[in-house]
Structures are given as structure tokens and as C-alpha cells.
């Protein structure tokens, strides 16, 4: 089955992960810009990082027949350095012209501070100005509810089209409001600290399949790119068809990301073919 991995931090993973993803049906990944595990000191470090994910990483993925796309942004943790963040934001439009850059992300809140909010708003404004898709990170664990509510409050005062905004890492306690407000939402499958494959399928059963993306994130921390495939298996084990699975794990990301014409993978449909039977006996 063909799968699109819509949130994947490839620079933190090995070539063997690409190979095994290709073997398990992954045809494309999209890599948001994120925190490197330490706070960077220089705008140029971000620029080189954006070059890495928009120029080099697509070549590494292509070795395994996987298309690689990316997003550029200052992540919420490093937004605590507003001076650095504004310098980076000024440089981001240069990357919007790159052939595989899909938009601005992941942005949003970590601890829901004033600095984070200032940089979040600046990046949303820039995405609007340059007609870019938006990918929003919501906080971890005990900070998730507060950060998600503030995210929605901030967005409600800005001129965003919810259909072009993806609010990621939602769980049972944060899915309802963004979905009802018309945004796309994402389930991030982590071994311990976010959503599990089984709980993701539960939410698909409760909330339906529209405007929902499922991803593994898969970064340098405890994470696993194949939780996405585990989710496909869990979904199929509950009796849903292959086409139902394709709708969620391939077509939904194709629909959201395809709002940027650079993402040229279209939704697909399985079709049986009536062929004349061949009698091989005696040939």
C-alpha cells in the first residue's frame, strides 16, 4: 500500500530508515523544520539547516525512490530568542521559491510564552503574505491543552484560511476544537509521549476521516518511523478496507500538501481489472 509520511525529521534518521520505509510503501515524506536538541546561536546556522532539508535531503531520499519535501520555520523552543528568530524569518522567503518547500512550519507554542507568541504571529503573517501552507506544533504533555487553546485564539484574530493550516500532535483532549474550527489536524504516533497507533484509530472511528493526517514525526528522540505502518495494520485489523486506509494514509496528506502545487502526488484509488482468463493448459 502506498503511504505518505507527512511529518518526518529525516536529518535525524539513517539511510536504512529510508530503505525500510520504501520497502513498506512510503512514496513521500515531508520534513518540517524543528529544534536540533540544542539552541542555535546564529541565523546562518538556520540557513544552512534549511539548505540541508531543501537541497540535500531530497537527494538522499531519492536514492530509495522516495520524494522528499520540507517546511521552513523557527521552532517554538528557539522562539525564546526573538532577535535571532526575526533574523531567520527575514531569510525564509528565499526558501519559499525552492522546488520542494511547502510552507511555514513547524511553528507554534512550547511553553506558551510571550516571546513564543510574538514569533508565532510573525511567522503566520509571513505565511499569509507569501501564500504558504502553515504547520503548527502543539506542546507536549501537560502543556498541550493551554498551548492549543492559545494557538486557536491567536489564529482567530489573523486572516488565515483554516483549510491551509495543519494543527499537529492533537490527542483526545485537544482534537475537537481545531477540527470544528475547520483546520486540518494531525496525530503524531510516538512510543510513549504522544499518541499510539491504537488510539489514533480510535479517534479516526470517532471523528471520521476528513481533514485528519497521521504521522510518526520520527526525530532524534525516542521515536519510530514505523509507528505509521503499525497504525495502518491496526486500522486494517479492525476491518477497514485497503481503500479506506489509502484515503487516510495516502490521500489525505496528498490533499492537504497538494494545496501547494509543488507537491505533485495525487490521491489514488484501487481498481480491479476485468481481464479475459487465459487457459495455460497445453500451451
- The residues binding other proteins (CB under 8 A) are 141, 172, 192-193, 196, 198-199, 202, 205-206
Return phi, psi of residue 27, to 5°: -105, -20
CB-nearer residue toward other proteins: 141 or 270: 141
Give the nearest distance from C-beta 202 to other proteins in angstroms: 6
Give the nearest distance from C-beta 237 to other proteins in angstroms: 13
CB-nearer residue toward other proteins: 15 or 145: 145
Residues 6+ apart with CB under 8 A from 121: 154, 158
CB-nearer residue toward other proteins: 100 or 148: 148
CB-nearer residue toward other proteins: 62 or 206: 206
CB-nearer residue toward other proteins: 156 or 193: 193
CB-nearer residue toward other proteins: 48 or 205: 205
CB-nearer residue toward other proteins: 164 or 169: 169
Give the nearest distance from C-beta 188 to other proteins in angstroms: 14
Distance CA 198, CA 188 (A): 12
Give the nearest distance from C-beta 172 to other proteins in angstroms: 8
Torsion of CA 263, 181, 169, 66, to 10 degrees: -10
Distance CA 144, CA 141 (A): 6
DSSP 8-state class, residue 174: T
Give the nearest distance from C-beta 198 to other proteins in angstroms: 6
Hey, is 70 helix, strand or coil? strand
Give the nearest distance from C-beta 174 to other proteins in angstroms: 14
Give the nearest distance from C-beta 199 to other proteins in angstroms: 5
Distance CA 115, CA 78 (A): 10
Hey, is 240 helix, strand or coil? coil
Hey, is 167 helix, strand or coil? strand
| Residue 257 contacts residue 31 (beta carbons within 8 Å) | no
Distance CA 92, CA 103 (A): 10
Q: Which three cell numbers stand for residue 92?
A: 525564509
CA distances for 170 relative to 6, 184, 239, angstroms: 15, 10, 25
Distance CA 142, CA 159 (A): 29
Amino acid at each position: 500500500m502506498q503511504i505518505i509520511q507527512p511529518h518526518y525529521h529525516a536529518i535525524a534518521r539513517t539511510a536504512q530508515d529510508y530503505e525500510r520505509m520504501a520497502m513498506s510503501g512510503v512514496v513521500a515524506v515531508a520534513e518540517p523544520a524543528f529544534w536540533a536538541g540544542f539552541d542555535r546561536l546564529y541565523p546562518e546556522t538556520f540557513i544552512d539547516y534549511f539548505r540541508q532539508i531543501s537541497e540535500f535531503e531530497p537527494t538522499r531520499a531519492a536514492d530509495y525512490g522516495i520524494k522528499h519535501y520540507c517546511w521552513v520555520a523557527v521552532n517554538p523552543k528557539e522562539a525564546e530568542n526573538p532577535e535571532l528568530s526575526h533574523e531567520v524569518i527575514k531569510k525564509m522567503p528565499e526558501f519559499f521559491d525552492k522546488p520542494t518547500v511547502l510552507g511555514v512550519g513547524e511553528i507554534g507554542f512550547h511553553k506558551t510564552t510571550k516571546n513564543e507568541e510574538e514569533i508565532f504571529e510573525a511567522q503566520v503573517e509571513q505565511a499569509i503574505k507569501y501564500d504558504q501552507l502553515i504547520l503548527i506544533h502543539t506542546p507536549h504533555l501537560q502543556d498541550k491543552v493551554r498551548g492549543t487553546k492559545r494557538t486557536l485564539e491567536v489564529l482567530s484574530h489573523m486572516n488565515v484560511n483554516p483549510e491551509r493550516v495543519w494543527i499537529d500532535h492533537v490527542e483526545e483532549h485537544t482534537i475537537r476544537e481545531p477540527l470544528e474550527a475547520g483546520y486540518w489536524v494531525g496525530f503524531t504516533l510516538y512510543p510513549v509521549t504522544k499518541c499510539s497507533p491504537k488510539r489514533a484509530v480510535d479517534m479516526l472511528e470517532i471523528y471520521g476521516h476528513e481533514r485528519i493526517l497521521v504521522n510518526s514525526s520520527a526525530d532524534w528522540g525516542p521515536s519510530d518511523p514505523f509507528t505509521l505502518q503499525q497504525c495502518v495494520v491496526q486500522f486494517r485489523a479492525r476491518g477497514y478496507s485497503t481503500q479506506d486506509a489509502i484515503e487516510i494514509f495516502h490521500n489525505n496528506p496528498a490533499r492537504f500538501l497538494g494545496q501547494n502545487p509543488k507537491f505533485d502526488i495525487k490521491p489514488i484509488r484501487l481498481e480491479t481489472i476485468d481481464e479475459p482468463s487465459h487457459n495455460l493448459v497445453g500451451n
